[in-house]
Amino acid sequence: MNPSYAIVAAQSRNHVIGRGSDIPWQVKGEQALFKKITQGGCLVMGRKTFESIGRPLPGRLTLIVTRQQGYRHDGCEVFNSISAAMTFAASTDRPIFVVGGGELYGAMINDAQCVHLTTVEIEVSGDVYFPEFPRRQFDLIETEHFESNINYTYQRYVNRDQELLCHTKTV
Ligand SMILES: NC(=O)c1ccc[n+]([C@@H]2O[C@H](COP(=O)([O-])OP(=O)(O)OC[C@H]3O[C@@H](n4cnc5c(N)ncnc54)[C@H](OP(=O)(O)O)[C@@H]3O)[C@@H](O)[C@H]2O)c1
């Protein structure tokens, strides 16, 4: 059984999260929000997301999931299954954040305890999408609007089927 974890994602209005290996927008402040939410935690990410970031993020543990044997990167832990990554993450006693990309979100969203979802107020083309998630199963407990070069809205959902261990946003 997986330990408690949160999903952290940013999507456009039309649910795009990525185009190729990139995120197709630059929004001032949104990265700082991601940092505040995830600071001190374990970041679990797919290999493609890791390669788009290119380095471990400071102040957090970076856990990469890949099916490739022998994949390594300095400063990161690598696992050949999501469950192996989650077992290791649980052993660290840090809050666990699944931070993408589309394949990881799709596999992990239904059983997340919490979803930190930022919606950037644009419509963009892309080829990676945030998955549908069962809104009936999640309660929206926080909404905050931010004005920036592109405005964005942060929302926090908690899964009412799961024990409420949602890491609180600290801004
Ligand atoms: N907007 C956002 O918040 C946000 C956040 C993160 C990422 N993104 C974007 O999302 C895109 C990447 O997402 P993606 O869906 O293409 O890829 P991804 O989820 O980042 O990574 C997929 C890779 O993870 C590994 N993997 C996935 N499931 C696995 C499993 N069950 N067991 C073992 N390994 C597994 C595989 O790696 P191998 O191929 O090495 O086996 C797979 O190819 C990029 O555009 C990125 O910029 C956006």
- pLDDT per residue as tens, the chain (171 positions): 678 999 999 999 999 999 999 999 999 999 999 999 999 999 999 999 999 999 999 999 999 999 999 999 999 999 999 999 999 999 999 999 999 999 999 999 999 999 999 999 999 999 999 999 888 899 999 999 999 999 999 999 999 887 555 555 443
Ligand 1, pocket-test mutation among 27, 128, 153, most atoms within 8 A of CB: 128
> Which token pair is 4?
């408690």
From CA 25, how far away is CA 37, in angstroms rounded? Answer: 20
What residues does ligand 1 touch, defined as CB less than 6 Å away?
A: 9-10, 17-18, 21-23, 46-49, 52, 65-68, 80-82, 99-104, 107, 128
Report which ligand 1 atom has the smallest distance to the Cα of 19: 45
pLDDT value for 166:
52
Closest CA to 126 of 149, 100, 156: 100
Report which ligand 1 atom has the smallest distance to the Cα of 127: 45
Under CATH, which number does the domain 6-159 receive? 3.40.430.10
Q: What is the pTM of this model?
A: 0.95
pLDDT value for 171:
35
Protein residue whose Cα sits closest to atom 26 of ligand 1: 66
Protein residue whose Cα sits closest to atom 36 of ligand 1: 66
149 CA → ligand 1 middle, Å: 27
pLDDT value for 161:
81
63 CA → ligand 1 middle, Å: 12
53 contacts 72 by C-beta, under 8 angstroms = no
Strands 16-18 and 138-146, sheet pairing: unpaired
Protein residue whose Cα sits closest to atom 12 of ligand 1: 101
Collapsed DSSP state (helix, strand, coil) of residue 143 = strand
CA torsion sign for 21, 14, 138, 114 is positive
Collapsed DSSP state (helix, strand, coil) of residue 106 = helix
* Look-up of token digits 């493609």: 48
Type of residue numbered 19: R
* Alpha-carbon distances, residue 12 vs 57, 121, 128, 138 (angstroms): 23, 6, 11, 20
Closest CA to 122 of 18, 14, 4: 14
Protein residue whose Cα sits closest to atom 22 of ligand 1: 46
